A = this chain, B = another copy of it.
Amino acid sequence: MTTFGYTLHATSGAARRGTVTTPRGLIQTPAFMPVGTAATVKAMQVRDVAATGAEIILGNTYHLMLRPSAERIARLGGLHRFMGWEGPILTDSGGFQVMSLAKLRRLTEKAVTFQSHIDGSRHELSPERSIEIQNLLGSDIQMQLDECPPFPIAEDASLESLELSLRWAKRSKAAFDHLADDGRALFGIVQGSVYPDQRKRSAEGLMEIGFPGYSVGGLAVGEGQGAMFETLEVTTPLLPRDKPRYLMGVGKPDDLVGAVARGIDMFDCVLPTRSGRHGQAFTWDGPINIKNATYQDDPTPLDPESDCPASRDYAKAYLNHLFRAGEYLAATLLSWHNLAFYQALMQRMRTAIEDDRFEAFAADFLNRYRSSS
């Protein structure tokens, strides 16, 4: 059985080029993970997700525990078989979406109880139950349950939340060590909002427990790109060099470039698929809205150089038409294009780090990407 691991191959400034090893396959980092919320990357076939170059996808514990339930997925052979994805899967703990989606939340030292946003049914999510669910799903990279504080949050409230998350980290680790199959990994999550000393306290507390990878949580919640980058700058240097670092829920293409420059290895975000469903296409010259009338007669594809069929084989005029006609294929083709764009961006970043020219790459990318906006 392959064990979970991380190998750092090269650096360029603070940017890191590595490989995460899992029993289900390798993940070249920096890596972007498409989000498969409810056991499907929305509007996509897994075959096409894989063809974009994605080596790992993310599943949402909150959504899956409510529907169709972790026990049902386990009976059906686990999440990989259920949705037909053969590579590694990372799951979140469910905590973030309890905070953003569920009703009537009540948080205690023991657990968070809440009502399902789907049918109002009552549920309890403790650190132990979250780990149990993630193992029922068969997740390869699991997250500790943490409290996800809002932004902004006062310093003392943030510290209190952070300490709870550290206690939950310890309980998550104990549950994981008891339950998880060989080769699976549990990540601790660094919290502390935008307070440098709290980020330090959180990182040190987690490292004391010891995890094979560290997530950075509590960002991309409204603090703005500047504050996010400043927080990364004080956080990533605290983390062990020989473990992967995952920035949760980020982000826009320029967020990814800036976060890689600050030592992040892994990302997930609904943006490429959600934007795609709403007609936004990412391009090297910045995002465009394909529904705009200016594309009605445009015979050019989104990216003739891409090897993604959605980017290369259809006129913008066709994509525009599909959106106007309300066709399913509109969402599929634009989600697909955006995922391919994100993977191409990650590939370019990986190459730039290997060549130790990341800073120049980032400047060139941002210059072109922001030129039209």
A residues adjacent to B (C-beta < 8 A): 38-40, 42-45, 47, 63, 67-68, 72, 75-77, 82-84, 296-297, 299, 309, 313-315, 317-318, 320-322, 324-325, 327-329, 331-332
CB distance from A319 to the nearest CB of B (A): 11
CB distance from A279 to the nearest CB of B (A): 15
Q: Which of B45, B67, B321 makes the CB contact (< 8 A) with A332? A: B45
Contact A318 to B45, CB < 8 A, known contacts A296-B72, A297-B75: no
What would 4 more interface pairs be, CB under 8 Å, given A72-B317, A82-B315, A84-B314? A47-B309, A68-B321, A77-B299, A84-B313
CB distance from A116 to the nearest CB of B (A): 13
Q: Which of B43, B47, B318 makes the CB contact (< 8 A) with A82? A: B318
The answer to whether B82 and A322 touch across the interface, beta carbons within 8 angstroms, is: no
Bound CA span A70–B97, Å: 47
Residue of A82, A313, A325, A331 contacting most chain B CB atoms (<10 Å): A325
- In the complex formed, the residue of B with least CB distance to A330 is B40
The answer to whether A297 and B40 touch across the interface, beta carbons within 8 angstroms, is: no
The answer to whether B67 and A317 touch across the interface, beta carbons within 8 angstroms, is: no
- In the complex formed, the residue of B with least CB distance to A331 is B328
Write out the residue numbers on chain B whose beta carbons fall within 8 Å of the beta carbon of A331: 328
Write out the residue numbers on chain B whose beta carbons fall within 8 Å of the beta carbon of A321: 38-39, 67-68, 82
The answer to whether B68 and A324 touch across the interface, beta carbons within 8 angstroms, is: yes
Residue of A40, A72, A324 contacting most chain B CB atoms (<10 Å): A40
CB distance from A71 to the nearest CB of B (A): 10
CB distance from A310 to the nearest CB of B (A): 9
Write out the residue numbers on chain B whose beta carbons fall within 8 Å of the beta carbon of A67: 321, 324-325
CB distance from A187 to the nearest CB of B (A): 26
The answer to whether A76 and B318 touch across the interface, beta carbons within 8 angstroms, is: yes
Bound CA span A195–B47, Å: 52
The answer to whether B313 and A76 touch across the interface, beta carbons within 8 angstroms, is: no
Write out the residue numbers on chain B whose beta carbons fall within 8 Å of the beta carbon of A38: 321, 325, 327
Q: Which of B75, B83, B328 makes the CB contact (< 8 A) with A318? A: B83
Bound CA span A63–B328, Å: 16
Contact A43 to B84, CB < 8 A, known contacts A68-B317, A76-B318, A318-B76: no
Bound CA span A40–B330, Å: 10
The answer to whether B40 and A322 touch across the interface, beta carbons within 8 angstroms, is: yes
Bound CA span A322–B42, Å: 10
Write out the residue numbers on chain B whose beta carbons fall within 8 Å of the beta carbon of A324: 67-68
CB distance from A177 to the nearest CB of B (A): 31
Bound CA span A187–B324, Å: 31
Bound CA span A325–B38, Å: 7
CB distance from A291 to the nearest CB of B (A): 13
CB distance from A274 to the nearest CB of B (A): 12
Bound CA span A328–B276, Å: 13
The answer to whether A297 and B72 touch across the interface, beta carbons within 8 angstroms, is: yes
Bound CA span A322–B82, Å: 11
16 CB < 8 A contacts A-B: A38-B321, A39-B321, A40-B327, A42-B328, A42-B329, A45-B329, A67-B324, A68-B317, A68-B320, A76-B299, A82-B317, A82-B318, A82-B321, A84-B313, A84-B314, A84-B318
Write out the residue numbers on chain B whose beta carbons fall within 8 Å of the beta carbon of A322: 39-40
The answer to whether B76 and A44 touch across the interface, beta carbons within 8 angstroms, is: no
